[in-house]
A and B are shown apart, each in its own frame.
Chain A
Amino acid sequence: MRRAIYSEIQKARRTKTWLAVSVLLAVQIAWAAWGTGNMNADDLRQGWLLCLYQFPLLNSIMMPVIIAVIASRLGEVEHKGHALKQLETMMPAWRLFDAKFLCGSAYVLVAIILQCLVVVVIGCTRGFEGPPPLALLGSYLGSTLAVSLTLLLLEQTLSLLFNNQAISLAVGLIGGFAGFFALYLPESIHKFIPWSYYGLLMQVRMNWNRATHVTRFYTLPLDWSSLTVVLVVFGAAYIAGHVVFGRKEV
């Protein structure tokens, strides 16, 4: 396994996949810096919650595409080099699948950890009231990671199955948009869309008073039932990915 992972790291060199992750972070930093520019005392009191409300929303539109890009970069290198038939004489298909998944997971994990650091840095520099809410940040990290890795599994399977990366990318885009747009619909609908779980697992919600135009953020306990659904889908996607990729004719 270590050799398989090492060869994935070698293949990832000069593919500039880090650029996709960097651009995601740059947009989120710019968005957060813009959104926290002119804050009064009341805004500063809610600053941490504002960030932890905005980031999952940005994730729900951007992460599916970034994940599709990561999975596509990991998959298309084999299709372009016609390398699958050679690789599968040296290692079982499941090992290649796992090595690619671990490699992709590293990008995703680093991106989410950096997001948390960005929230802390912005909060401290802007002077948000109180210390960083570590418990909320921890559950944000865990839930975002669970959803992202599930989507990575789905995207990686598609990227490895089809030579044409348009298919996996179109699925990522359509899923991402469906998940984001569904956040405007009743919760019963977005429970059926895996891409919507960034929004479903948000612990910070917003209450906007139409008459006074005052925005209040409040927290909810973590939605364990939705997290359980994500973990079940993760398990099913992992098994399905192994089976489907293992049976692929190279």
Chain B
Amino acid sequence: MFARALRAEFLKLRHSPIWLAFGILALLPAVIGTVNYAYNIAILQNQWYDLWSQHTLFSCYFSLPALIGVYCSYLWHLEHADHNWIGVLTAPIPSIYVYLAKLFVSGVLMALTQVWVGLLFVASGWLAGLSSPLPAELPVWLLVGAAGGIIISAVQLCLSLVIRSFAAPVGLALIGGIAGLVAMAKGYGVWLAYALLALGMSANNAQGGLQCSPGAFAASCVIYLAICIAFAGVWLARRDIVTG
């Protein structure tokens, strides 16, 4: 049953315009980060690590949270259109499967985004003329960052489930990203879902590794995930639908 729900979600993604946002919203911070790195190359001596800091400074707090917001709003927008909720909720599957299937799809999109971010980082380094070998931590940054991104997706999917507008949850995602910047600066990153992406990607602290213990990061992810799934389950089961 879950496989069918998943298949339906992937079908809904066909011909979607989110690939435009996917391509450009990750490309912009990479370009600016690389240009900024090239301008300040005299004081940035740590090659790939400094380039990573420049890339993540722009992407983790601004563009990637907003991009995840676009993914999640898009994933729910067909349900909110016309009278589609009636069809969705009469499908012979538990209603929470709809949320879980969307969470899985957003996880796949997040993984693809991280691959794209990684490719852009490597290409930027070559263009900037970096001669040292690639940092061994790169796959870890991307993978742990993807975990943080999936938590933001879980929260955004709840927001886009509740708010029927496409745009409002994306605005909240942007504000969440900025709040993540403040939380990271104050040392409270692990407590805020929107900071987990930056925390996981070791943004601005590439050589220092994760800024909290791996256990605290994992616990925060699991707690947020559990709360979001429980919330979506209750909302889908108890709330009457609004159509049209």
Contact = CB atoms under 8 A, between A and B. Distances in A.
Answer yes or no: do A and B interact: yes
A225 B41 CA distance: 33
Interface in A165-206: 165-167, 169-170, 173-174, 177-178, 180-182, 184-185
Contact of A69 (B77, B171, B179): B171
Contact of B70 (A30, A173, A185): A173
A156 to B, nearest CB: 12
Contact-residue bracket for chain A:
20 to 34
Interface in A134-172: 164-167, 169-170
A16 interface: yes
A164 B80 CA distance: 12
A208 interface: no
Contacts of A182: 32
Given A68-B167, A72-B166, A166 B32 contact: no
Contacts of A180: 62
B174 A178 contact: no
Given A23-B171, A80-B81, A181 B29 contact: yes
A93 interface: no
B166 A181 contact: no
Interface string A28-68: 00100010000000000000000000000000011001101
A76 interface: yes
B89 interface: no
Contact-residue bracket for chain B:
35 or more
B170 A173 contact: yes
Contacts of B20: 167, 170, 174
Contact of A62 (B16, B58, B77, B174): B174
Contact of B168 (A20, A61, A174, A185): A20
Contact of A181 (B28, B170, B174, B244): B28
A66 B32 contact: no
Contact of A185 (B35, B63, B67): B35
Contacts of A69: 165, 167-168, 170-171
Contacts of A65: 66, 170-171, 174
Nearest to A162: B17
B175 interface: yes
A27 interface: yes
Interface string B54-89: 000010001100110010011001000100000000
A13 B198 CA distance: 37
B167 A174 contact: no
A181 B25 CA distance: 11
Contacts of A100: none
B17 A27 contact: no
- Of listed A27, A165, A170, residue having the most chain B CB within 10 A: A170
Nearest to B172: A23
A19 interface: yes
Contacts of B8: none
Contacts of A81: 244
Contacts of A170: 17-18, 20-21, 24-25, 70
B236 interface: no
A174 B28 contact: yes
Contact of B28 (A20, A30, A178): A178
Nearest to B61: A61
Interface of B: 16-18, 20-21, 24-25, 28-29, 31-32, 35-36, 58, 62-63, 66-67, 70, 73-74, 77, 81, 165-168, 170-172, 174-175, 178-179, 182, 244
26 contacts: A20-B168, A30-B182, A34-B182, A66-B171, A68-B170, A68-B171, A69-B168, A69-B170, A76-B165, A76-B167, A80-B244, A166-B77, A169-B170, A170-B18, A170-B20, A170-B21, A170-B70, A173-B21, A174-B24, A174-B25, A177-B29, A177-B66, A181-B28, A181-B29, A185-B32, A185-B35
